[in-house]
Amino acid sequence: MSSHPRPLEGLRVVEVSSFVASPLCGLTLSQLGAEVIRVDPIVGAADINRWPVTDDGNSIYWTGLNRGKKSVTVDFRDPQGQTMIQDLVIDSGPGGGILVTNAGGRSWMSHQTLSARRSDVITLELLGRTDGTPGVDYTVNAALGFPSITGPTDYAGVVNHVLPAWDVACGLYAALAITAAVRRRDQNGVGAQITLPLEDTALAIAGTLGYLTEPQLSGGTRPATGNDVYGTYGTDFVTADDSRFMLVALTPRHFRGLVEMTGTGEAVAAVERALRADFAREDDRYIHRGVLTPLFAAWFARHTSAEVEAALAQAARDGGDSPALDVDLDALSQGRAQGRQQLRSFDDLLDARSPGREPLSGSEPRRGPTAHLRWSGRGAGARRGHRAAQAAGRCGGREGGQPHRRRRERQGGGEKGPEFRRAEVDRRAERRHPRLERAQRDRDLRAAAPRRRADHVDLPGLPERFHAAGLRRPVLRRYPGWRS
């Protein structure tokens, strides 16, 4: 364990809470060094016996969320007990005066009451919904419509998620809000009243990730994709011994690595020609995943999980040694031994396969025609010089000292300075990369496409207050190039 002091040492936080978000806020602050005192009713909070439980009935869930905290039990109905909680918040020294709770609606524990006794008090109240009515993760998630795009694609019903993701995000946001309020108090000596509804947290994150903007622009809803990763190529595969691997190929380099590992190069190339697709493009890989997946699935069906792990390890070794990959593979093997699903990301395994990528710290430099450029210096400035030299080399020069001579001439060091600049511009225009041309063509198409007005788009299921907030029109102004 590190001997260095933790960043929030000296803070004292009083927590009156239950379930996930509020206890997670206190746990996070405690792990950062704060002293967290949990106050419970004498008979225990509502979640004290929540499943999962041990054989003797102790809640594993409750223990996990409240480890490392101090504990006090008080009769909340007794005025003396209420005064005791107030004193615990108010009389807690310069690092105290902080209350985190999801048990709102009590006037004796409100910010107004506490701030009358201590002006710099910080209170954070977590709510279910913005109007104060109850709401938990699973109901908020259902209101946003996520269950309709979750689960198997051949299932006509809805599937709510297992992980309380909105609770987790809300708890971490709450810990960040407390930290920010403490910093402001240290600077200005003022307290803070923070109200954080779970519903608003979910709406904000869903909007940030585009889940709310997409239906406004397209006029429809996102389809369910099962275990296929939306918008890119990623899915799960079953091995000969009925193990499962989840692989995600986020970039063209990762996709090429998957093709090489499964030995499907000729078949994938034939499909690419037949469909007139370009699998270097992420959208083409996603659109034609139904054709690509059976090609890869046949290879997985012929190999055991041990053989697949060995192939993934070989792919990592081909791209360069990385201690992080070795750790991941060990964890993967342990998970298989315990009967859990194997989840593996091609982004981790094949991230080092690019010839132009600098090796990870501690690994050997790759051999190749540009190795001397890649390792000619250290730091961002050296990397920028390497990229400029490579670009000049692609424009007609040879790899080696030639790009450096051209750079000197371009800076006016030779007789051909201005002429060289004009000639290089012509050479680059002639050798323009096809992807740049496609990107420009896509931009032209988006600019020429008609824009869809959001005034006539209905989003059923979203709260009316979200429509009244006028969020749709500014969103469209920020994305002027979207096609209808």
Domain co-membership, 441 together with 429: no
**CA distance linking residue 206 with residue 146, whole number of Å:** 10
List, for residues 316-356, the tens digit of each pLDDT value.
Answer: 777 543 223 333 334 444 444 443 333 334 344 334 333 34
Instruction: Please name the residue that has the structure tokens 């054989």.
Output: 55
Q: Name the pTM for this structure.
A: 0.66
Q: 38 with 160, same domain? A: yes
- Does 263 lie in the same domain as 241? yes
* Whether 62 contacts 48, CB under 8 Å: yes
Alpha carbon distance 135, 472 (integer Å): 25
Residues 184 and 266 in one domain: no
Residue 279 falls within a domain, yes or no?
Answer: yes
Q: Determine, yes or no, domain membership for 3.
A: no
Q: How confident is the model at residue 202 (pLDDT cuts 50, 70, 90)?
A: very high
Per the model's pLDDT, the better-predicted residue between 341 and 228 turns out to be: 228
The answer to the question of residue 357 being in a domain is no
Evaluate whether residue 1 is within a structural domain.
Answer: no
pLDDT confidence bin for 421, thresholds 50/70/90 = low
Looking at the structure, do residues 471 and 451 belong to the same domain, yes or no?
Answer: yes
* 440 and 427 together in one domain: no
- DSSP-derived 3-state class of residue 203: helix
Domains of the chain: total: 4
Whether a cis peptide bond, with omega within 30° of 0, leads into 52 is: yes
Between 147 and 365, where is the model more confident?
A: 147
Residue 222 included in any domain: no
Residue scoring higher pLDDT (376 or 463): 463
Which of residues 418, 434, 450 is at a domain's end? 434
Calpha distance 233→282 (Å, rounded): 7
Output the CA–CA distances (angstroms, integers) from residue 24 to 31, 68, 127, 330, in the order listed: 10, 12, 14, 29
What local confidence, expressed as pLDDT, does residue 318 receive? 75
The parent domain of residue 383 ranges over 371-434
Residue 398 has pLDDT above 50, yes or no: no
| 383 located within any domain | yes
Q: Are residues 340 and 417 in the same domain?
A: no
Look up residue 470 and give its amino acid. G
Same domain, 146 and 191: yes
Residues 71, 150 share a domain: yes
Question: What pLDDT does residue 343 have?
Answer: 36
Q: In this structure, is residue 266 part of a structural domain?
A: yes
User: Which of the pair, 373 or 356, is modelled with greater confidence?
Assistant: 356
- Is residue 199 in a domain? yes
Which are the catalytic amino acids?
Answer: 167
Model pLDDT for residues 237-279, shown as the tens digit of each residue? 999 999 999 999 999 989 999 999 999 999 999 999 999 999 9
In this structure, the answer to whether residues 423 and 440 fall within a common structural domain is no
DSSP state of 131: T
Q: What is the CATH number of the domain that holds 189?
A: 3.40.50.10540
Strands 35-41 and 122-127: unpaired
Cβ count near 55 (within 10 Å): 5
My answer on whether 426 and 443 are in the same domain is no
Q: Are residues 280 and 146 in the same domain?
A: no
